[in-house]
């Protein structure tokens, strides 16, 4: 067998093994899962998630997911907790402890301290009969038959199972909270995804110049206006209302068809009834219109009056495209 095929076979077997383990998690769910979700949902405190080794890395990711979906969460490393960081846990906080074996030395030291403080504790573990499993108020069973590692040692399948269990928690809490796309945008204002949810057309068009000419504007003035405003387009306006549009393409087509063009006016070369969009519309809506009609600019209106131009490049710059 060649090296390429051997690599692909190993990758296939790893993916199949882990996907089977994830599928098996649904059979391990009990009422404890629902009670754990309700505990967090009804808590006035935060969620403190702790673990050690690879489980600590998974804990960090679950913290990030919870925070981004409306459930305040904080990571606490299990080793650091028993050396001073235990003060992170406040009176009403719920603690989630992640450990495959549930019997590591750090967990055995940490768990009694959490119990003494009267905080409720949820375990995500692959061993429900472990020390952690016996001490937890609620157990989320993340048992896996074997790791993807051929030596059954490196945490691979087990950490994937922990991660999926954390995602299931987060999504259940998201739905209980009625967490909407608008809420999501509040927590992701700087990313492209957040911008898709909150950025409006006016946020873009207001940064551009506002090219416009009248019906009787000469061809020379039209060319100057398009050139100076650098958007490749100008609106043709009558009493502040859009009556047409002239693009670079319109000018090129006009030059190829006419020999006597210096006497032409804007009204002679404009395209009537151009595509337009309200300045209050979402920027992503402008993207969809541009894609549907194969155009790179949209004229923008406010209360039926011309207010500017949004360009394809604006959407690209903001990561909408």
CATH code of residue 59: 3.40.50.10490
Instruction: Convert the pLDDT of each residue in 131-154 to its tens digit.
Output: 999 999 999 999 999 998 888 878
Instruction: Convert the pLDDT of each residue in 39-85 to its tens digit.
Output: 999 999 999 999 999 999 999 999 999 998 889 999 999 998 888 78
Instruction: Write out the DSSP string of 148-196.
Output: SSTTS-SSSHHHHHHHHHHHHHHHHHHHHHT--HHHHHHH-TTSHHHHH
* Same-domain check for residues 27 and 99: yes
* Same-domain check for residues 279 and 221: yes
Note the pTM of the prediction, 2 decimals. Answer: 0.67
* Same-domain check for residues 37 and 126: yes
Cβ burial 245-274 (10 Å sphere, 16+ → b, else e): bbbbebbeebeeeeeeeeeebbbebbeeeb
Closest by Cα among 309, 286, 285, 287 to 235: 309
Instruction: Identify which has the larger pLDDT, 245 or 149.
Output: 245
Domain that holds residue 15: 3-179
Number of domains in the chain: 2
* Same-domain check for residues 14 and 122: yes
User: Does 192 fall in a domain?
Assistant: no
* Same-domain check for residues 111 and 74: yes
Binding site, by residue number, is 77
Binding site for Zn(2+), by residue number, is 77
Instruction: Convert the pLDDT of each residue in 82-99 to its tens digit.
Output: 887 888 899 999 999 999
* Same-domain check for residues 15 and 163: yes
User: Does 122 fall in a domain?
Assistant: yes
């Amino acid at each position: 067998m060649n090296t390429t095929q051997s690599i692909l076979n190993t990758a296939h077997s790893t993916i199949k093994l882990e996907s089977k383990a994830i599928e098996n998690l649904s059979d391990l769910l009990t009422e404890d899962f629902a009670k754990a979700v309700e505990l967090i949902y009804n808590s006035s405190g935060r969620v403190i998630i702790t673990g050690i080794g690879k489980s600590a890395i998974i804990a960090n990711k679950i913290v990030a997911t919870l925070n981004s979906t409306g459930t305040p969460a904080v990571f606490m490393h299990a080793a650091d907790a028993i050396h001073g960081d235990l003060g992170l846990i406040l009176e009403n906080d719920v603690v989630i402890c992640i450990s495959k074996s549930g019997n590591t030395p750090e967990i055995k030291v940490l768990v009694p301290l959490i119990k003494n403080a009267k905080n409720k504790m949820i375990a995500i573990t692959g061993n429900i009969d472990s020390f952690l499993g016996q001490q937890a108020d609620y157990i989320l069973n993340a048992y896996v038959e074997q790791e993807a590692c051929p030596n059954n040692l490196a945490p691979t399948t087990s950490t994937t199972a922990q991660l999926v269990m954390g995602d299931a928690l987060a999504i259940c809490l998201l739905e209980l909270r009625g967490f909407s796309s608008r809420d999501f945008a509040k927590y992701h204002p700087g990313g492209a995804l957040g911008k898709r949810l909150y950025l409006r057309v006016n946020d873009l068009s207001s940064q551009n110049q506002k090219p416009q000419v009248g019906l009787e504007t000469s061809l020379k003035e039209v060319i100057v206006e398009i050139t100076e405003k650098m958007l490749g387009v100008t609106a043709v306006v009558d009493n502040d209302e859009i009556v047409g549009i002239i693009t670079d393409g319109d000018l090129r087509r006009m030059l190829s068809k006419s020999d006597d063009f210096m006497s032409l006016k804007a009204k002679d070369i404009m395209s009537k009834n151009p595509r337009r969009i309200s300045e209050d519309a979402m920027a992503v809506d402008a993207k969809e219109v541009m894609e549907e009609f194969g155009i790179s600019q949209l004229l923008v209106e406010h209360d039926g009056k011309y207010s500017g131009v949004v360009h394809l490049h604006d959407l690209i710059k903001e990561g909408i495209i």
